Amino acid sequence: MAWIHDSDLQHEALYQVARADEFMWQRSRALGISRRRLLQWLAAGGASVLVGDAWPRQAQAAQAASSQELVVKPTPPELFFDYGSNKEMRWQNMSQRGYVVPNELFFVRNHTRTPRIDVSTWRLKVEGSGVRRPLELAYDTLRSMPSVSVIRGVECAGNGRSFFENAYGKKAQGTQWKLGAIGVAEWTGVRLRDVLDRAGLKRTAKDVMPEGLDDLKVRRPMSVAKAVAEDTILAYAMNSEPLPPDHGSPVRVLVPGWIGVANIKWVGRIEVSEEALFSHWNTDTYILIGSDYQPNPPAKGLVLSRQNLKSALELDMGAQLQAGRHRMTGRSWSAFGKITRVEYSLDRGLTWQLARLQEPRISPAWARWDFDWDARPGQHTIRVRAADEHGHAQPENVPWNEQGYLYDAVVDHPVIVA
């Protein structure tokens, strides 16, 4: 993979491919077998042994604890769709609102449940072969460092998953999100690179893996290039409030543009390594498995790239409206760049009109838009599609993948007018 330049490693897809390749060389050398033999062995199902992930045991422990409270904040049915430890924002509640999602409305995605962590005893460990001075930071020390605020989105890689069922007649694995597993907030914290510098980040460091303090110790690696980016931060505030328990209190990592799970909540440890790092969350899950995707050992499929491009109306699916003129509103977002065009169709894609775009159009966050609709009685289907400054556009369909990630196709939004 020598043609992948270091600066390209900010892009998750390239990063994962490069790392997987290196990993194979390292391990095959260590095991004294050929790389080819190792690939055959992996194809036969040896990956998790090789990665050395203690996931199954942790999963059992987490299940035993599952009768306890899963989410701390109130999540009444008017505000959220309830999937146990996961709560989906109802888009309807975003109409007439400002640019960011209020903390009370922000979606929650917990692999297990929200842990309660005492700020006074919380420590952030930064350690591993990639730092010269391993350290432990207390909350007050972190708060005393220079801070930055950024407006950015966090979106679950499975957002839109339920639409695979409409398209393929079968459900993909996992929470059946509609389009509400995304939120945008103003995050305040310390640049991750400032903390890494304090720990004496080595030039030879390669990967940075934040780890959560939740039951499963959710963790997922990123390249040093992404870790030292301007807007990769250790966030302790969300929309000017201390980070709420469900969103990672006291501190979470914000990794803009990368899939939701990269934004590790309740971070307690950051491993910095001179070697490629792997976890359950980039070998077994958060990968694309399906006939259109090749396995990419040690991952069982193509490791997920960054988030993509989607649009949502600020209206429930199947909402009822009164006949007459309505201002229809919504938001579109792209992880690649600014939204430059949003179109809507009232005739199932036969004809398209331009929606009006509003400022700001932050990337990776979203752009608000609206259009006027003179609604006649009957059953209607509204479609919306967006494009960004780099020419990415929402496709008509998405190839099937077992775990139902990255559904970015145009969706049918049913509306009943009476």
Interface with ligand MTE by CB under 6 A: which residues?
106-111, 154, 156, 183, 212, 214, 218, 247, 260-261, 263-266
Helix (H, G, I), strand (E, B) or coil at 45: helix
What are the φ and ψ backbone dihedral angles of 391, each rounded to 5 degrees?
85, 5
Tell me the sheet residues that pair with 313. 330
Q: Choosing among Mo ion, ligand MTE, none, which partner's interface includes residue 212 (Cβ < 5 to 8 Å by kind)?
A: ligand MTE
- 404 near Mo ion, rule: CB under 5 A: no
Least distance between Mo ion and beta carbon 65 (Å): 20
Residues 6+ apart with CB under 8 A from 227: 192, 193, 196, 208
Instruction: Copy the structure tokens of residue 388.
Output: 């960004």
Q: How many residues bind Mo ion (CB under 5 A)?
A: 4
Q: Which residues contact 148 (CB under 8 A, 6 or more apart)?
A: 188, 189, 190, 191, 231, 233
Q: Nearest CA to 329 among 307, 352, 358?
A: 358
Non-local (6+) Cβ contacts of 321 within 8 A are 375, 415, 416, 417, 418
Of 260 and 297, the one with the shorter C-beta distance to ligand MTE is 260
The option from ligand MTE, Mo ion, none interacting with 247 (CB < 5 to 8 A, set by class) reads: ligand MTE
Query: Interface with Mo ion includes 156 (CB under 5 A)?
Result: yes
Instruction: Output 101 or 382, the one with its CB closest to Mo ion.
Output: 101
Residues 311-340 that bind Mo ion (CB under 5 A): none
Answer for the pair 415, 378: CB distance below 8 angstroms, yes or no.
Answer: no
CA pair distance 411, 160, nearest whole angstrom: 9
For the bound state, the minimum distance from the C-beta of residue 20 to Mo ion, rounded and expressed in Å, comes to 21
Residues 87-126 that bind Mo ion (CB under 5 A): 109
Give the nearer residue to ligand MTE in terms of CB position, either 258 or 369: 258
d(CA 38, CA 30): 11
CB of 245 to ligand MTE, least distance (A): 10
- What minimum distance in Å lies between the beta carbon of 260 and Mo ion? 3
Q: Does 280 bind Mo ion (CB under 5 A)?
A: no
Question: Between residues 109 and 113, which has the closer beta carbon with respect to Mo ion?
Answer: 109
Pattern 246-265, Mo ion, x by CB under 5 A = --------------xx----
Residue type, 43: A
* Residue 111 Cβ vs Mo ion, minimum distance, rounded to whole Å: 9
Choose from Mo ion, ligand MTE, none: what does 263 bind? Cβ within 5-8 Å by kind. ligand MTE
Among Mo ion, ligand MTE, none, the one that 264 touches (CB under a kind-dependent 5 to 8 A) is: ligand MTE
CB of 139 to ligand MTE, least distance (A): 17
- Please list the residues that pair with 370 across neighbouring strands: 329, 356
Which of Mo ion, ligand MTE, none does residue 107 bind to, with CB < 5 to 8 Å depending on kind? Answer: ligand MTE
Dihedral angle over CA of 279, 281, 284, 285, nearest 10: 180
The CB-of-252 to Mo ion minimum distance in angstroms stands at 13
DSSP 3-state of 387 = strand
Q: Where are the alpha helices (DSSP H) in 273-363?
A: 280-283
Q: Please, what is the Cα angle at 248 between 332 and 205, to 5 degrees?
A: 90
Residues at the site binding Mo ion, with contacts judged by CB under 5 A: 109, 156, 260-261
